[in-house]
Amino acid sequence: MSVQKAKRQVGKYELGQTIGIGTFAKVRLARNLDTGEHVAIKILLKEKVLKHKLPEQIMREIATMKLIKHPNVIRLLEVMGSKSKIFIVLEYATGGELFNNIVNHGRMGEVEARRYFHQLIYAIDFCHSRGVYHRDLKLENLLVDASGNLKVSDFGFSALHQQLRDDGLLHTTCGTPNYVPPEVLKNRGYDGAPADLWSCGVILFTLLAGYLPFDDHNSINLYKKIATANFTFPSWFSFGIKKLLTRILDPNPVTRMTISEILEDEWFRNGDNPPVFDGTYETSLDDDHAAFKVSQDHQMMGKEEQPAALNAFELIGLSKGLNLGSLFNIEQEFKRETRFTSTCSANEIIRKIEEATKPLGYDIHKKNYKMMLRNIKAGRKGNLNVSAEVFQVAPSLHMVEIRKAKGDTLEFHQVF
């Protein structure tokens, strides 16, 4: 029995039953032997990842989940690698998929559906504010935790802002047909934000109706329905929800309802309770750094081999011709935030930021590798507050994120 138990252990996690199987990965329930906490571990075979040319997609998922830290988004806890496998350790949502809720219990009432829709919109708004577009929003990718709160998952098809082409649009056709907007099907480029909003509208319709607004066994007929937004409201839909969904499920992305407009909608605002959280919600920075560090703690027990002396990014990067730089070199125009990479150590980065801002009259507060810079002198819009955070992407590469927390945007540009 002791041998059998050893075989089921990965690092500090004891593996349990398989809770999900996909084409390229399976997900197993696991328990943290140090804390007793249950987690979900996505296990990918390195050979299969390379064979199907998926390194960039896996890298994107890891990179995206490190950027998105929101109470309604599944947390990335740790990444480990062995010679043959990649292990992505995720928060475990005990309530399972929201899809199963509809399958087992049927449609929801407006109050319950609105609560989930609130959480979805705030999560997606946060993703978009970080330059991340999910691109595969559907009920199967919305999980529920033990408290009944929604958790957005599966960022495998997500796109970062720097993936936009010169025309400012995304050009990869992806997603689940019933949830994708008309502009994605046209394959002429699309804006990620309104595309995600269309999917949110399909999700809300399905929660309230118990079935999809666009569905047909024939793919051509399905695409025609989506292209013209050809759907019918059930008799029990209220006027407020009809008005909202008509604007969200607009086949023209230019006139489609935006998140800011949804936040002001009368039906949406009824019972609205925006999430309150700080940037430290998800994982401690110690865990964040450890996620990309291979150590003796990350051992594969039993018949599994010892982990290779390289982190998951290097492991996936063995695919020839894969340029990882574009995923993290995010030197771009910014309004309220910007990110850039550095080969300096984390401590050196913190020291240099401190040296650059102290002479400018900033009061500096540090905690681990996070900084809050507060200008003592008031500017055009009060005191300028700037937050800075250092993320470890790989042992020799760090990403620095700088955000305006308060004050004038022009002054923020000048300081940067």
Q: Establish whether 136 is a catalytic residue.
A: yes
Residues 6+ apart with CB under 8 A from 34: 12
**DSSP 8-state code for residue 211:** S
For the chain, give the number of residues.
416
Query: Residue 285 is encoded by which pair of tokens?
Result: 């920075």
**First-to-last CA distance in the chain?**
59
Query: Residue 179 is encoded by which pair of tokens?
Result: 């949830």
Q: In angstroms, rounded to a whole number, what is the distance separating the alpha carbons of residues 315 and 124?
A: 30
Residue linked to tokens 């309802």: 257
Sequence ranges of the binding site for ATP: 42
Q: In angstroms, rounded to a whole number, what is the distance separating the alpha carbons of residues 377 and 382?
A: 8
For every residue of 52-70, DSSP letters joined together read TT-HHHHHHHHHHHHH---
Query: Residue 407 is encoded by which pair of tokens?
Result: 């004050």
Question: Do the bridges between strand 397-406 and strand 382-394 make them parallel or antiparallel, or are there none, so unpaired?
Answer: antiparallel
Dihedral angle at the C-alpha atoms of 4, 9, 13, 16, nearest 10 degrees? Answer: -50
Query: Residue 253 is encoded by which pair of tokens?
Result: 């992305």
Could you count the other beta carbons within 10 Å of the beta carbon of residue 70?
A: 23
Residues 123, 150 contacting (CB under 8 angstroms):
yes
> Active-site residue among 136, 154, 196, 288?
136
- The residue ranges of DSSP E strands in 350-396, in sequence order, are 362-367, 370-379, 382-394
Helix (H) or strand (E) holding 86: strand 85-91
Sequence ranges of the binding site: 42
Strand order in 13-21's β-sheet?
9-10, 13-21, 25-32, 38-45, 85-91, 76-81
Catalytic residues: 136
